[in-house]
A and B are shown apart, each in its own frame.
Chain A
């Protein structure tokens, strides 16, 4: 094991800002975000890819940070819930989630918000079936999903209207 470094030093691009980070190389992106960058907005529910709570955007695509190696993210653009609002102005998805009851306990919310952002970034003209499909990898135990669908539809409307 002597050959394995105790720490690696890398640079990520997190929410549009350069983020130099130093961490133990066994860590996943989830651990680096939460523990080394103090971005605790990204949650975890299983760390095995079975719930979707840790979803973030890696180069614009929703991925599960619990199964992305930290060492593989050098130079990658990572987007987390902390970077979703525009300064003090909530992203339309955030506003709609808050207004439509889409966040009850709020624990699965960051992962769903980021997943929905990727969906709407690609195509704001989404229908209910596409929304259901897009967030089917994010378990929510509180809502029964319906208010989440409605919030994403509302955000899509707002974003289309812009």
Chain B
């Protein structure tokens, strides 16, 4: 089949709006009689609220309403297991920035002035600033739920006897790594507008990646039927995972609008966006890996400790994601994974591009570099030799489909002239390689149900127009363009003739949202199914007119025709007319649910995906030995995305991922300051500003050689896998590995800053271990493992008693 739309570089279907300033982001919405909301946020990292007096604020001219925790009795949370947040604090604040009260006024200026008039009495509580402290401090508990003390989640899984695998290995590598937290930093600050309609029903426009989840949550939070609530996801000015959660302000303005009978808007300022966070978890890791002398992995034991911040957010999933995908890149016969997420008095962490997986990926890829060094193997060759095989199961029962990783490695090796440069460049210059894999959509929804993950509805009428409805959310990644492309390809029409209506819970079928790189595969498959159904109807009607068999007709270039007889042809519009006459009003729906995953143990739900994408990356660095100053002149990245739907956009996703990965590698960090505890109990975000939280500028960006590797995956629409998250993952370890090639020092933590490089160089000069990174992994009370036998050890995907397992082996 020759494709007409898919695979061709085109202007995206929503491109014109974006360059004319007509794309309407949430804060661009202005409604008659609209009021403005601002939130009073906690100045204390951990405190009980004894009393709130809002009388003075209420009396300020121009103030319409003040809301507090009393107005919101129902807790919320994105995960059913973590319903631990209140829109406004219910007696307890857990981080500096936790919302306490809301003022709704005629304008922001007045609302801001009124915030100062809200009087709050606090009882300050002891604070916890990091997971180690959380492990040692069981009281006070930041939350009453969770495992125990201040541990939110703690778990252990073992797939085959890893102790034995390590014991039998030729070498065991034991490393501790640390990955600092960082945040999404979309340039668009979160905004929401809530408005009651004429019937008293509520509409919420919001910068959200998950309108469906917001819809469900609002119904619960407002105790109002979902049928009376409409959530419209505006195009997001960047998401990166930061707009995946339910946010306090979305619920607050909804309640306010209903109470006041008027539209209410909120737009967070930049500092508040840092407090909203839900970004990359800081993760401390210990990784013990057994290898044979020729570089095959025999087993791995990974332990992770996550700094969760003050609330659950997506943390239950994030905790799993720090381990579950370690198995899909390389052949790993046995695997053990312990994870623990602790509560701390900081803004909650959640999903950021790569959700939970960049941290262990950094560790694994740096460790592989150490393994190659020790075994005197080329690190690219070592990886090529252990790439996981297509159409196999992993030790933890994930089903892998296509794998273009070997080709990715070969591409970056060839294009970077790796063989002539690795360990051969002059002192101070180096190259490093790393690989990665990522999900193409999470196999399970956030709440348990058996319904489709994505639905698409098509409207066609006698005018020849096609309108596509889907709940998917355009966050800049090009989801509208994918939707139009899929339908256009099937129906043989121009994608620009298709109207996309997306992200509106009142009129679009449910799609779970723009997260976990799920949109192209799930929405795309649903769109194809809907379009094929419509096509069949049109073909049947057209065939009748043209006196041919429906199966003989082709749909292409806006025509429906018999390829061998030139007079047997209709325009697409004519064909639709005949179809409408024959079948009545036309419409078709399609839906998609991911295939059932083979794992049967409790916890097997996190990790499965219809397909996995793969990336390989080579980074070149220049290190100044006197100062540790690091420059990155060039990056090569090859990404196996199955097939590029629109190559210009796919390339943009890959390069944007490289940008963000490089930023995490070099400079971004969401870090906190605790003032001397004897003098103050302050625990604040160190740098909540766009100036001091460093995002690279155009002058800081290296040249990138982007290679799209296409190995179409049968589970994916026209074979297209994801491209928006996976290519971020190999960048950080490739930087670290390149630094080792350049100057022979190991930086086992992220970000990699000049001062750390210089410190390592000084250690090297002093004859000490030339490494900067965490020294040790603490004692974590992981529970006994859930033991599951890998498929190749006669496992059945279910939990096994360890004694039985030993007997089987």
Partner-B contacts on A (CB < 8 A): 24, 26, 34-35, 38-48, 50-51, 53, 80-82, 84-85, 90, 93-95, 97-101, 103-110, 113, 131-133, 135-149
**Does residue B651 face the partner (Cβ distance < 8 Å to A)?**
yes
Evaluate contact between A46 and B185: CB separation under 8 angstroms: no
Q: Which of A82, A141, A149 has the most CB of B within 10 A?
A: A141
Q: Which residue of A lies closest to B651 (CB)?
A: A101
| Contacting residues, chain B, for A113 (C-beta < 8 A) | 19
In the complex, are the beta carbons of A81 and B20 less than 8 A apart?
Answer: yes
What residues of A have a CB within 8 angstroms of the CB of B698 in the complex? 131-133, 135-136, 138, 140, 145, 148-149
Binds A, one of B173-181, B235-243, B284-292: B235-243
- Which of the residues A26, A82, A106, A146 comes within 8 Å of B476, measured between beta carbons? A106
A143-B698 Cα distance, complex, nearest whole Å? 10
Write out, one digit per residue, whether chain B residues 2-36 have a CB within 8 A of any chain A CB (1) or not (0). Answer: 00000000011001111111111101101000000
CB of B270 within 8 Å of the partner chain: yes
Contact between B697 and A40, CB atoms less than 8 A apart: no
- Say whether B552 faces chain A, with CB atoms less than 8 Å apart: no
The residue of chain B having its C-beta at the shortest distance from the C-beta of A53 within the complex is B187
In the assembled complex, the Cα of A53 lies from the Cα of B189 at a distance in Å of 11
Known contacts A105-B235, A105-B237: A143-B270 contact under CB 8 Å? no
Q: Contact check, B652 vs A51: say whether CB atoms are below 8 A apart.
A: no
Complex formed: what's the CA distance from A136 to B27 in Å?
Answer: 25
Q: List 25 A-B contacts (CB under 8 A).
A: A38-B30, A41-B20, A48-B270, A48-B689, A81-B19, A90-B19, A94-B19, A97-B18, A104-B652, A105-B186, A105-B187, A105-B238, A105-B239, A108-B187, A133-B698, A135-B698, A140-B698, A141-B186, A141-B660, A142-B652, A143-B652, A144-B655, A144-B656, A146-B703, A146-B704
What is the CB-to-nearest-CB distance from B322 to chain A, in angstroms, rounded to a whole number?
Answer: 24
Say how far A39's CB is from chain B's closest CB, in angstroms: 8
Partner of A103, one of B18, B28, B187, B188: B18
Closest B-chain residue to A148, C-beta based? B698
Residues of B within 8 A of A135 (CB): 698
Interface string of B450-475 (1 = CB under 8 A from A): 00000000000000000000000001
Q: Which partner residue on chain A sits nearest B18 by CB separation? A: A106
Cβ of B269 within 8 Å of any chain A Cβ, yes or no, is: yes
B156 an interface residue at 8 Å Cβ cutoff?
Answer: no
Q: CA A84 – CA B30 in complex, angstroms?
A: 23
Interface of A is mostly: loop
* Residue numbers in A under 8 Å from B18 (CB-CB): 97-98, 103, 105-106, 109
The answer on a CB contact under 8 Å between A81 and B21 is: yes
User: Is the Cβ of A141 less than 8 Å from the Cβ of B695?
Assistant: yes
Q: Is B20's CB under 8 angstroms from A40's CB?
A: no
Find the residue from A42, A105, A149 having the highest chain B CB count within 10 A: A105
- State whether the Cβ of B109 lies closer than 8 Å to any Cβ in chain A: yes
Q: Which residues of B contact A (CB under 8 A)?
A: 11-12, 15-25, 27-28, 30, 109, 184-189, 235-240, 269-270, 475-478, 648-649, 651-652, 655-656, 658-660, 689-691, 695, 697-699, 701, 703-704
Give the distance to chain A from B61, nearest Cβ to Cβ, in Å: 12
B238, A101: Cβ atoms under 8 Å? Answer: no
- Bound Cα distance from A140 to B270, whole angstroms: 15
Shortest A140–chain B CB gap in Å is 7
B690 touches A46 (CB 8 A): yes
Contacts of B12 in A (CB 8 A): 98, 101
CA distance A142 to B325 in the complex (A): 25
User: Which A-chain residue is minimally distant from B650 (CB atoms)?
Assistant: A101
A142 touches B238 (CB 8 A): yes
Q: State whether B109 touches A51 (Cβ < 8 A).
A: no
* Chain B residues with CB below 8 A from A46, complex form: 270, 689-691
Known: A45-B187, A141-B186. A133 touches B699 (CB 8 A): yes
Residue from A43, A98, A144 in contact with B659 in the complex, judged by beta carbons closer than 8 Å: A144
B16 surroundings in chain A (CB, below 8 A)? 90, 94, 98
Quote the shortest CB–CB distance from B553 to chain A (angstroms). Answer: 33
Contact B237 A107 (CB under 8 A): yes
A105 touching B475, Cβ below 8 Å: yes
| Chain B residue at smallest Cβ distance from A49 | B691
Q: Considering the chains assembled together, what is the distance between the CA atoms of A143 and B476 in angstroms?
A: 10
The answer to whether B699 and A109 touch across the interface, beta carbons within 8 angstroms, is no
Asked whether A141 and B240 contact (CB < 8 A) given A50-B689, A99-B11, the answer is yes
A sample of 7 more A-B contacts (CB under 8 A), given A40-B28, A107-B25, A141-B660, is: A50-B690, A51-B690, A101-B652, A105-B476, A107-B188, A141-B240, A142-B656
Distance in angstroms between the alpha carbons of A46 and B746 in the assembled complex: 36
Q: How far is the CA of A81 from the CA of B651 in the complex (A)?
A: 26
B106 CB to nearest A CB, Å: 11
For the complex, give the distance between the alpha carbons of A140 and B28 in Å: 19
Nearest chain B residue, comparing its CB with the CB of A82: B21
Q: Top 3 closest A-B pairs, CB basis?
A: A41-B21, A105-B476, A107-B237
Contact residues in B for A142 (Cβ distance below 8 Å): 238, 476, 652, 656
In Å, the complex CA distance between A149 and B30 comes to 33
Task: Decide if B187 touches A85 in the complex (CB within 8 Å).
Answer: no
| B704 partner residues in chain A, CB cutoff 8 A | 144, 146
Which of A48, A105, A138 makes the CB contact (< 8 A) with B691? A48
A residues near B23, Cβ cutoff 8 Å: 106
Asked if A143 and B656 sit within 8 Å, CB to CB, the answer is: yes
Chain B residues whose CB sits within 8 angstroms of the CB of A93 once the complex forms: 19
Complex-state Cα separation, A30 to B612, whole angstroms: 44
Contact of A50 among B20, B691, B703 (CB under 8 A): B691
Q: Is the beta-carbon distance between A103 and B651 smaller than 8 angstroms? A: no
Q: How far is the CA of A136 from the CA of B699 in the complex (A)?
A: 6
Residues A107 and B651 in contact in the complex (CB < 8 Å), given A138-B698, A142-B656: no
Complex CA–CA separation, A50 to B25 (angstroms)? 20
Most A-side CB within 10 Å, residue of B11, B18, B21, B478:
B21
Measured CB to CB, the nearest residue on chain A to B689 is A50
**CA gap between A142 and B187 in the complex, in Å:** 9
Q: Do A101 and B648 touch across chains, with their CB atoms under 8 A apart? A: yes
**Most chain A CB neighbours (cut-off 10 Å) among B235, B651, B659, B690:** B690
In the complex the two chains form, is A139's CB within 8 Å of B655's CB? no
On chain B, the residues within 8 Å of A145 by CB distance are: 659, 698, 701
B437 to chain A, nearest CB (A): 21
B652 and A147 contacting across the interface, CB-CB below 8 Å:
yes
Cβ of B648: which chain A residues have Cβ within 8 Å of it?
A: 99-101, 147
Q: CB-CB < 8 A to A48: which residues of B? A: 270, 689-691
Contact A82 B20 (CB under 8 A): yes
- Would you call B659 and A143 a contact (CB within 8 A)? yes
Contact residues in A for B15 (Cβ distance below 8 Å) = 97-99, 103
Q: Are B652 and A80 in contact (CB under 8 A)?
A: no
Q: Across the interface, which residues of A come within 8 angstroms of B477, CB to CB?
A: 104
C-alpha gap A40/B22 in the complex (Å) = 8
| Contact (Cβ within 8 A) A106 B19 | yes
| Contact of A147 with B651 at beta-carbon distance under 8 Å, contacts A40-B28, A46-B689, A48-B690 already known | yes
Give chain B residues whose Cβ lies under 8 Å from the Cβ of A105.
18, 186-188, 235-239, 475-476
Chain A residues near B21 (CB, 8 Å)? 39-42, 80-82, 110
Q: How many whole Å from A126's CB to the nearest CB in chain B?
A: 13
**Distance of A143 Cα from B649 Cα, bound (Å):** 10
CB distance from B107 to the nearest CB of A (A): 8
- Roughly how many angstroms separate A138 CA and B189 CA in the complex, as a whole number? 16
Q: In the assembly, what is the distance between CA of A47 and CA of B109, in Å?
A: 14
Partner of A107, one of B30, B186, B652, B691: B186
A139 to chain B, nearest CB (A): 5
Chain B residues with CB under 8 Å of A98's CB are: 11-12, 15-16, 18-19
